[in-house]
Structure 1
Amino acid sequence: MNKVLGILGSLCVVGTMALNASVHKLDFAHSNVGFSIKHLMISNVKGNFKTYEAAIDFDYKTKSFNTFNATVDLASVNTQNEKRDKHLRSKDFFQANMYPKMTFKMAEYKKMSDNHGVMTGELKIKNISKVVQFDVEDLGVIKDFKGNNRVGFTLVSKINRADFGLTWNKALEFGGFAVGEKVKITIDVEAIEK
């Protein structure tokens, strides 16, 4: 009898967790996968990726992620300069014809405060996988005009592009290099509860 009650109690806990957790779909019109990198050591060049998708499972009660997995189409890179974008798609950088996707799979999310957390996971570019961390700002939950729950987040990380085989560069006459080593990744997410 006690064993049966224990099983029922466990099922109730799991059921409560499931009710709090919600799967979301991206609102692509209000989301962005962006990056920035130093150019000639004096300015930041910014760009984004036009094509991407994500699986998001967010728990409203604990304000934490159960799942955050993303896939980015590297051929969709966009820096507002077609010549540069073509170079980024080439073998000097992404080699997008051979390695078309960049992926991120969350392994752990630690809530640091009501609106801040740290997400750890595996980032894969050009078949090279590294563990990276994103600082996550929770921008809140709101109902839209149709009564749908929407959540907003900003995820920020910095990576060394050489860690992923993105090593192309050009030395400058006065010292330094044309392209910076560190890449800042900024992901803005607005997602709708399914």
Structure 2
Amino acid sequence: MKAKFIIPLILCITFIFSGFNNNPTKYTLDKGHTYIGFDVERFMVGEVSGRFNEFSGNISIEGEDFTTLQVQVSINTKSLDTNNETRDGHLKGEMWLNTEAHPEIKFSSTSVIKNVDNSYVMKGNLTICGITKSIEFPIQLMGPLKDPTKVTSIGIKADLVINRFDYGIQFNRKMDNGSFFIGNEVKIKIRALAIHK
């Protein structure tokens, strides 16, 4: 009789404590150590580079298992900065990001896949100008690590390419040779540090 009682009790306790151990640890983006930028071809001989200075993000992970990583990021489109106020005004206008109508760019991850070589691929939904598309891209992940300031943090690096036409950004003026003034492919660069508080 005792065995019939003790074994279920042990299983129940094990289940309860394993549930506690699987609670995700929550992180937030450290704005002072996070960069969200982009490059796009201009006149075929150069690039326009820019960044977004205002954003927020919530990240969670269970232990050190990066396949449990979840990311939600919101970017303030009006914080676009290409180091040229006139150009910034054009890019914030109706022909480009239309920041008055669409004040945010949003990304929400749906899964993280670990490859056989221990690299990772993130999948998620990216919303720009009110249009949401599923995307996937390789990511580099570091941590979790308690740094010299006693703060636990994780690092995320990602480089990806999107087509602006997919998001309704249709400016398509062409040069004499038929090439677009501004390229349709936008290279996005992310260097993020997320901290646990």
Task: Give the structure-2-normalised TM-score.
Answer: 0.89
Q: Give secondary structure in 1 for the equivalent of 2:115.
A: strand
Contact 2:64–2:144, Cα closer than 8 Å, also in 1: no
Change (3 A) 1:142 1:5: closer
User: For residues 115 and 82 of structure 1, what CA distance do their matches in structure 2 show?
Assistant: 43
User: For residues 156 and 134 of structure 1, what CA distance do their matches in structure 2 show?
Assistant: 7
Q: Deviations over 1:143-172 (max 9, x none)?
A: 223211121110222111001001113210
Do residues 14 (structure 1) and 44 (structure 2) align? no
Q: How does 1:92-103 map to 2 (within 5 A)?
A: 92-103=95-106
Amino acid at match of 1:147: K
Q: Give secondary structure in 2 for the equivalent of 1:95.
A: coil
Q: Which residue of 2 aligns with 1:123?
A: 126
Identity value in percent: 27
Do residues 192 (structure 1) and 175 (structure 2) align? no
Displacement, 1:131?
Answer: 0.2
Displacement, 1:7?
Answer: 4.5
User: For residues 44 and 116 of structure 2, what CA distance do their matches in structure 1 show?
Assistant: 35
Q: Give secondary structure in 1 for the equivalent of 2:171.
A: coil
Change (3 A) 1:98 1:3: farther
Contact 1:52–1:71, Cα closer than 8 Å, also in 2: yes
Q: Which sections of structure 2, spanning at least 5 residues, go unmatched?
A: none
User: For residues 165 and 13 of structure 2, what CA distance do their matches in structure 1 show?
Assistant: 52
Q: Give secondary structure in 2 for the equivalent of 1:63.
A: strand
Q: Give secondary structure in 2 for the equivalent of 1:29.
A: helix
Task: Give the structure-1-normalised TM-score.
Answer: 0.90
User: For residues 114 and 53 of structure 1, what CA distance do their matches in structure 2 show?
Assistant: 31
- Of 1-10 and 160-169, deviating more is 1-10
Displacement, 1:65?
Answer: 4.1
Displacement, 1:58?
Answer: 2.4
Q: How does 1:81-160 map to 2 (within 5 A)?
A: 81-112=84-115, 116-160=119-163
User: For residues 117 and 66 of structure 2, what CA distance do their matches in structure 1 show?
Assistant: 7
Q: Which residue of 1 aligns with 2:78?
A: 75
Q: Deviations over 1:42-79 (max 9, x none)?
A: 22221110110001112342234432000001111111
Amino acid at match of 1:83: T
Do residues 49 (structure 1) and 52 (structure 2) align? yes
Q: Which runs of 4+ in 1 moved over 4 A?
A: 1-7
User: For residues 145 and 114 of structure 1, what CA distance do their matches in structure 2 show?
Assistant: 30
* Structure number, greater radius of gyration: 2
RMSD over equivalenced CA pairs, Å: 2.0
User: For residues 10 and 130 of structure 2, what CA distance do their matches in structure 1 show?
Assistant: 48
Displacement, 1:31?
Answer: 0.4
User: For residues 119 and 106 of structure 2, what CA distance do their matches in structure 1 show?
Assistant: 23
User: For residues 41 and 115 of structure 1, what CA distance do their matches in structure 2 show?
Assistant: 37
Contact 1:156–1:186, Cα closer than 8 Å, also in 2: yes
Q: Would you say how many aligned residue pairs link Structure 1 and Structure 2?
A: 192
Contact 1:140–1:153, Cα closer than 8 Å, also in 2: no
